[in-house]
């Protein structure tokens, strides 16, 4: 169960270019990194724990010789941290067929699929997905048809890439369009990444988004685009806009930075508390803080300095999350001392980090600290790939009202965005807002059962 980043490259220096894409997607996963290449008609896979640059060295990658490669950075949402379960790409072989698969998402019915189609219990939805694709590939004789069949079998979210020894690369996005997936093709080279920003950094300024329920394949000669024929309710994950994606990325034709600025503007329009300075929680709160300051006509400044070696605490494994929160931020005292401070963050999930931020701001002399959140209260678990699968870990679910949460944080006041404000900011006809509303895209979802299935608590 993973909220991750996937990449692939078909063309010259494929391993190194895939590696570069993974570095650009590091914000989507910090637990492990992996690359699969095609070498002498067989798939070779390297998967190790840690960040991309430490898990696999650039020198090691530069020695890999292949015209095609796929890669993955992992952020797990269930399972024991460091167990290795679910690390990707997953490479499998059976009866003369081989595949390597990497995916971003969460398969809700992976246990049922494992029992019905694989006749066994497999504790990883990534492995279930890979084994299911291989089984269908064997039965149908065509990997594209195998991936196409996933759309009618899988319940949940997936953006995936599959490598075969033909050689062929296949990418696909689920019919609901939960997660991002982009590609660039110039007639000879195919580059693939979870986010458009990764492609642009490598110079691929012309790119396309994979549509919901769409499969794209390339064998080195021709690019094929196939529709799965399955239609879900368009449900892109709103948390991509709130937090997960880079601000320079585009998802469903919406610039993430601009959506976040509008989130901050909406919150600013609701606020009537006098403040002297607006500071962001870096880095994902910066765009919203800018929007808030524009509407309030209050000075925007950098008051918090992020330790860039600490990583993203939200996607850090639970065993070190508190430690990372303790060492993540420093304060520019001259910006906050003696002032009424509005501190703007993208979201408030568990409250761990914000409690520490409020405390250190007051310790550095802030006269008042007013917490402003660019998204609504998260009250319900996510089963589509974000790491809050139980209500008891959500601060807005544990406390009955905003005043109680504000008191817990030690803040002078707390103001959230609204669901209406979020819709206005993103400007799409529909979104997955289940973590705010409790209304899930799959209508028969059983929250209590899934909390037990996906909880690592």
Mean pLDDT of the chain: 92
Kindly tell me the number of DSSP H helices and DSSP E strands found in the chain: 18, 21
What pTM was computed for the model? 0.92
Q: Which of 107, 50, 169 is nearest to 442 (CA)?
A: 107
Q: Strands, DSSP E only, in 188-347? A: 190-193, 208-209, 214-218, 223-227, 250-251, 254-255, 277-280, 304-306, 329-331, 340-345
Distance CA(335)–CA(417), nearest Å, equals 25
pLDDT of residue 324: 56
Name the CATH code of domain 255-429 (choices 3.40.50.2020, 3.90.1640.10, 3.30.420.10, 3.40.50.1010).
3.40.50.2020
Residue 240 has what DSSP assignment? I
Position 385 scores a pLDDT of: 74
Give every CB contact of residue 43 below 8 A, 6+ residues apart in sequence.
Answer: 36, 37, 91, 98, 99, 100, 163, 165
Counting every residue, how long is the chain?
A: 457
Strands 277-280 and 340-345: parallel
Q: What 3 state SS string does 56-102 have?
A: CCHHHHHCCCCCEEEEEEECECCCCCCCCCCCCCEEEEECCEEEEEE
What's residue 315's pLDDT?
Answer: 46
Q: Where are the domains of the chain?
A: 5-232, 255-429
Choose among 287, 345, 344: nearest CA to 313: 345
For 193-214, what is each residue's pLDDT tens digit? Answer: 999 999 999 999 999 999 999 9
Looking at the chain, the whole-number percentage of residues with pLDDT higher than 70 is 91
d(CA 104, CA 160): 6
- Which pLDDT value is given to residue 400? 85
Tell me the C-alpha distance between 62 and 220, whole Å.
21
Which pLDDT score is estimated for 457?
41
Q: Report the candidate in 137, 166, 194 with the shortest Cα–Cα distance to residue 43.
A: 166
How distant, in Å, are the alpha carbons of 79, 126, 387, 402 from that of 85? 7, 9, 16, 38
Pairing of the two strands 190-193 and 5-10: antiparallel
Rounded Cα–Cα distance for residues 322 and 235 (Å): 32
Q: Are 181 and 173 in contact (CB under 8 A)?
A: yes
Q: Residue 337 catalytic?
A: no
CA distance 105 to 4: 7
Measured CA to CA, the distance from residue 70 to residue 62 in angstroms comes to 15
Q: Which of 24, 25, 53, 22 is CA-nearest to residue 35?
A: 22
Determine if the peptide bond prior to 229 is cis (ω within 30°): no
* Three-class SS state of 205: coil
- List of the chain residues with pLDDT < 70: 1-3, 76-85, 309-327, 449, 452-453, 455-457
Kindly state the helix (H) or strand (E) to which residue 163 belongs, with its residue range.
strand 156-164
Three-state DSSP class for 414? strand
pLDDT at 311: 56
Task: For residue 85, report the phi and psi dihedrals to the nearest 5 degrees.
Answer: -70, 125
The CA distance from 239 to 375, in Å, is 9
Q: How far does Cα 15 stand from its chain's mean position?
A: 23
* Superfamily for domain range 5-232: Aminohydrolase, N-terminal nucleophile (Ntn) domain (3.60.20.10)
Q: 306 — phi, psi (to 5°)?
A: -85, 135
Residue 307 pLDDT: 86
pLDDT in tens, 221-274: 999 999 999 999 999 999 999 999 999 999 999 999 999 999 999 999 999 999
**Confidence at residue 328, expressed as pLDDT on a 0 to 100 scale:** 78
Q: Retrieve residue 369's tokens.
A: 């600290």
Identified catalytic residue from 4, 237, 382, 432: 4
Which residue has 């699929």 as its token pair? 113
């Amino acid at each position: 169960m993973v909220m991750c980043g996937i990449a692939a490259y078909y063309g010259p220096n494929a391993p190194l270019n895939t590696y570069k894409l993974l570095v650009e997607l590091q914000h989507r996963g910090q637990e492990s990194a992996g690359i699969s290449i095609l070498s002498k008609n067989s798939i070779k896979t390297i998967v190790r724990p840690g960040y991309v640059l430490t898990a696999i060295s650039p020198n090691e990658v530069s020695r890999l010789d292949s015209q095609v490669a796929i890669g993955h950075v992992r952020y797990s949402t269930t399972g024991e941290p460091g167990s290795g379960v679910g690390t990707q790409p997953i490479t499998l072989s059976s009866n003369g067929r081989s595949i390597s698969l990497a995916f971003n998402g969460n398969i809700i019915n992976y246990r049922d699929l494992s029992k019905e189609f694989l006749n066994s219990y497999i504790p990883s939805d990534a492995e279930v997905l890979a084994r299911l694709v291989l089984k269908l590939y064997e039965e149908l004789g065509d990997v594209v048809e195998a991936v196409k069949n996933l759309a009618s079998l899988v319940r949940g979210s997936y953006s995936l890439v599959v490598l075969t020894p033909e050689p062929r690369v296949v990418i696909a996005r689920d019919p609901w369009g939960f997660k991002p997936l982009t590609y660039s093709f110039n007639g000879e080279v195919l580059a693939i990444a979870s986010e458009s920003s990764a492609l642009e950094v490598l110079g691929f300024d012309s790119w396309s988004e994979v549509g919901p329920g769409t499969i794209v394949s390339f064998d080195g000669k021709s690019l094929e685009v196939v529709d799965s024929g399955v239609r879900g309710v368009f449900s892109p994950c709103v948390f991509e806009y709130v937090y997960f994606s880079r601000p320079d990325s585009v998802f469903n034709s919406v610039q993430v930075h601009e959506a976040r600025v509008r989130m901050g503007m909406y919150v600013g329009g609701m606020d009537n508390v006098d403040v002297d300075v607006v500071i962001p929680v870096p880095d994902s709160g910066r765009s919203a803080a800018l929007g808030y300051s524009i509407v309030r006509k209050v000075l925007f400044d950098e008051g918090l300095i992020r330790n860039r070696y600490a990583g993203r605490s939200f996607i850090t494994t639970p065993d070190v999350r508190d430690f990372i929160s303790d060492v993540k931020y420093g304060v520019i005292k001259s910006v906050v001392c003696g002032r009424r401070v509005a501190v703007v963050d993208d979201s408030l999930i568990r409250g761990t980090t914000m409690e520490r931020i409020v405390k250190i701001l007051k310790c550095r002399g802030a006269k008042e600290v007013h917490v402003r959140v660019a998204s609504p209260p998260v009250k319900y678990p996510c089963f589509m790939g974000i790491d809050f699968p139980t209500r008891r870990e959500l601060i807005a679910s544990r406390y009955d009202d905003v005043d109680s949460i504000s008191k817990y944080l030690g803040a002078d006041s707390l103001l959230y965005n609204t669901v209406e404000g979020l819709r206005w900011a993103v400007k799409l006809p529909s979104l997955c807002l289940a973590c705010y509303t409790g209304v899930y895209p799959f209508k028969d979802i059983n929250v209590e059962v899934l909390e037990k299935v996906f909880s690592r608590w």
